[in-house]
Amino acid sequence: MDCSLNGDCEQSSAEGSACLCDRGWKGAHCDVLDIQPTPKTAGYHNESFASWGGNIIFEGGKYHLLVAQFVNECPLGLWGTASSIIRAESDSYLGPFEYKETVVGAFSHNPTIRKSPHDGNYYLFMIGAGDSVDPPDCREDSQHLSSTLQESSIHVQRADSIYGP
């Protein structure tokens, strides 16, 4: 693929073509990350719960992170049944982010938040609907827990505020 989907292919005359890499990428094919070392305090850290992925949106003078977080001290391997979506806040896009609330309970995963330029509403896209009746509890014996993915589909929730309906 031209420029690894991380830049634009610029046509030159005799030399052929060259990649003009997007910010954050370098190399002849824009396939090498070009980022500074990240401070250890950056991001979201929660000693009690594992988390995965996430999106940041700036609103009301704060950076809001929506991220998948696993319930009841469950590990990443049980994401398919034990994942919920939380909102954390920071004054900086680098963090540190502080947990504020659970937005969607288990099972829900892969949160993507967008603010519509058309109606100003927030749209949270995810898999799962947060309707698990009995999410796993890994605080006791997790050896017998199933990592089977709960049946799910893509869902969207709408709110007029980043803080919910």
| Among the listed residues 108, 109, 96, 103, the one whose alpha carbon sits nearest the alpha carbon of residue 158 | 103
Count Cβ atoms below 10 Å from residue 4 Cβ, excluding itself: 15
| Among the listed residues 153, 38, 138, 159, the one whose alpha carbon sits nearest the alpha carbon of residue 87 | 159
pTM of the model: 0.74
**pLDDT tens across 40-86, in order?**
888 898 888 888 888 999 999 999 999 999 998 888 888 888 899 99
Domain ranges (residues) in the chain = 2-33, 51-159
Asked if residues 93 and 62 have their Cβ atoms less than 8 Å apart, the reply is: no
Q: Tell me the fold of 2-33.
A: Laminin (2.10.25)
